[in-house]
């Protein structure tokens, strides 16, 4: 058990809220009622034992089998490597005990298989890292954030089609309503409805891997991996710098570390220069104009430092905006105090961007994932 300063009662609440937020980011629908049940359950078990905390969370925060995998991964990541139990033991009800994030962390608990101590200090550290600028972290902290980025569960944007199908609400379905009435002696006891159906919308990511973006490139590629793995049939990923490299196949590998190694081997221009305009035009000529970008959510992750022709970048971004449903530009420097988009490339592209976001931290990337799925982040962009 760590001897670091305990965060106290406020820290306990912060740890619970942070863990629930991490679960939500991983796709577990842990609402406020479930979070409250989790907090209450911790007062009935020994919160100094990893096994008790694990089961208290699993029984209150998970709602189905699909939640168990993300829950296990989040528990291990958030509590600093505390190993979840093997599933045979359940928490033992008892009098409330000292939680691990107060005083000395509940010292005195007996040893045993489920007695691995939860590490609230690690949880606090995770909460701090959640909002920290990735570019200012140490290599170890950056690696930990990158690991948490892989846990982000991404939703998929959808679009309404012209096709209509039976639905609980919508326009009246006369044919089905009359058919049902024929079975009840002509009395239309129940009205039938039809509504427009939805289809998934494609997502295209272009990640700048030039030297100025190197502190953020790994986390952004991890984010791309999470998107590709979540929706492999409707997501395309590229690196962009002095070359355009398609990385979709490499990022479909399930293991994040292997996927990143494969992507690294495929990219020939890591930490090189930047020809965003030229390579974005190349993307449009080779892939975008043939349908990949048409109607898609296009995400460009770059600081906009253009070594080539900034006017060409503006022209290419304008062309992309006409093809895509939305253009989201992720610039990690946007979060810095006093930032202004004065870089020539950024200034040229910005008028054609729908959403201009930071993406500089784990929290910002979680909000980016939600925005790609359908919301609008940080007040939108110039075209919003």
User: Per residue in 18-76, pLDDT tens?
Assistant: 788 888 877 788 877 788 788 888 877 777 777 788 888 888 888 888 888 888 888 87
Distance from C-alpha of 73 to C-alpha of 300, rounded to nearest angstrom: 29
pLDDT of residue 118: 56
Q: Indicate whether 170 and 307 sit together in one domain.
A: no
pLDDT of residue 117: 56
In degrees, rounded to 5, the angle at the alpha carbon of residue 364 between the alpha carbons of residues 237 and 272 is: 45
Distance from C-alpha of 338 to C-alpha of 36, rounded to nearest angstrom: 39
Q: Which of 153, 178, 199 is the last residue of a domain?
A: 199
Distance from C-alpha of 141 to C-alpha of 102, rounded to nearest angstrom: 25
pLDDT of residue 157: 87
CATH number at residue 255: 3.40.50.410
Distance from C-alpha of 207 to C-alpha of 194, rounded to nearest angstrom: 41
Q: Indicate whether 247 and 189 sit together in one domain.
A: no
pLDDT of residue 79: 75
pLDDT of residue 166: 87
Q: Indicate whether 189 and 226 sit together in one domain.
A: no
* Residues of the chain predicted below pLDDT 70: 1-13, 80-125, 375-384
Q: Is 255 part of a structural domain of the chain?
A: yes
Q: Indicate whether 172 and 255 sit together in one domain.
A: no
Q: Indicate whether 175 and 300 sit together in one domain.
A: no
Q: Indicate whether 191 and 324 sit together in one domain.
A: no
Q: Which of 79, 104, 128 is the last residue of a domain?
A: 79
pLDDT of residue 112: 42
Q: Indicate whether 269 and 254 sit together in one domain.
A: yes
DSSP 161: E
Q: Indicate whether 352 and 213 sit together in one domain.
A: yes
For residue 51, give both structure tokens.
């096994």
pLDDT of residue 209: 93
Q: Indicate whether 356 and 296 sit together in one domain.
A: yes
Q: Is 85 part of a structural domain of the chain?
A: no
Alpha helices in the chain (DSSP H): 8-25, 32-42, 50-61, 68-78, 120-131, 139-149, 174-182, 214-230, 248-251, 256-266, 276-286, 310-323, 344-349, 362-373
Average pLDDT, the chain: 80
CA atoms within 13 A on the CB side of 177: 13
Q: Are 171 and 196 in contact (CB under 8 A)?
A: no
pLDDT of residue 105: 38
Distance from C-alpha of 296 to C-alpha of 286, rounded to nearest angstrom: 16
Q: Indicate whether 224 and 165 sit together in one domain.
A: no
Q: Indicate whether 50 and 169 sit together in one domain.
A: no
Give the three-class secondary structure for 241.
coil
Q: Indicate whether 35 and 62 sit together in one domain.
A: yes
Domain that holds residue 45: 12-79
Number of structural domains in the chain: 3
Q: Are 312 and 281 in contact (CB under 8 A)?
A: yes
Q: Is 143 part of a structural domain of the chain?
A: no
Q: Is 5 part of a structural domain of the chain?
A: no
| Helix, strand, coil tally for the chain in percent (to 5) | 45, 15, 40
pLDDT of residue 1: 37
pLDDT of residue 337: 87
pLDDT of residue 12: 66
Q: Which of 26, 55, 79 is the last residue of a domain?
A: 79
pLDDT in tens, 249-284: 999 998 888 999 999 999 988 888 889 999 999 999
């Amino acid at each position: 058990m760590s001897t670091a300063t305990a965060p106290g009662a406020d820290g306990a609440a912060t740890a619970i809220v942070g863990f629930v937020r991490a679960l939500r980011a991983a796709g577990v629908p842990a609402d406020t009622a479930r979070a409250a049940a989790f907090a209450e359950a911790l007062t009935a078990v020994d919160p100094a034992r990893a096994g008790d905390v694990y089961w208290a969370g699993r029984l209150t925060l998970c709602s189905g089998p699909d939640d168990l995998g993300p829950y296990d991964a989040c528990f291990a990541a958030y509590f600093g490597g505390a190993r979840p139990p093997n599933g045979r033991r359940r928490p033992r009800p008892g009098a409330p005990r000292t939680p691990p994030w107060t005083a000395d962390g509940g010292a005195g608990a007996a040893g045993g298989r489920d007695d691995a101590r939860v590490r609230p200090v690690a949880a606090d550290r995770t909460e701090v890292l959640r909002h920290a600028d990735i570019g200012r972290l140490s290599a170890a902290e950056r690696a930990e954030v990158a690991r948490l980025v892989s846990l982000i569960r991404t939703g998929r944007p959808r679009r309404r089609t012209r096709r209509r199908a039976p639905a609980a609400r919508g326009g009246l379905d006369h044919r089905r309503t009359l058919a049902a009435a024929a079975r009840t002696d002509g009395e239309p006891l129940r009205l039938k409805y039809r509504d427009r159906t939805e289809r998934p919308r494609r997502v295209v990511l272009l990640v700048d891997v030039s030297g100025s973006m190197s502190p953020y490139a790994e986390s952004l590629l991890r984010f791309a991996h999470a998107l590709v793995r979540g929706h492999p049939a409707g997501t395309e990923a590229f690196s962009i710098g002095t070359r355009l490299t398609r990385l979709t196949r490499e990022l479909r590998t399930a293991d994040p570390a292997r996927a990143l190694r494969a992507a690294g081997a495929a990219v020939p221009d890591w930490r090189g220069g930047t020809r965003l305009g030229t390579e974005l035009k190349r993307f449009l000529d080779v892939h975008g104009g043939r349908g990949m970008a048409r109607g898609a959510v296009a995400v460009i992750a770059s600081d906009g430092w253009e070594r080539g022709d900034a006017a060409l970048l503006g022209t290419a971004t304008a062309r992309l905006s006409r093809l895509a449903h939305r253009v989201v530009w992720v610039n990690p420097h946007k979060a810095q105090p006093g930032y202004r988009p004065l870089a020539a490339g950024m200034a040229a592209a910005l008028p054609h961007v729908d959403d201009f976001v930071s993406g500089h931290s784990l929290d910002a990337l979680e909000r980016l994932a939600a925005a790609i799925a359908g919301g609008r982040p940080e007040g939108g962009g110039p075209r919003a």
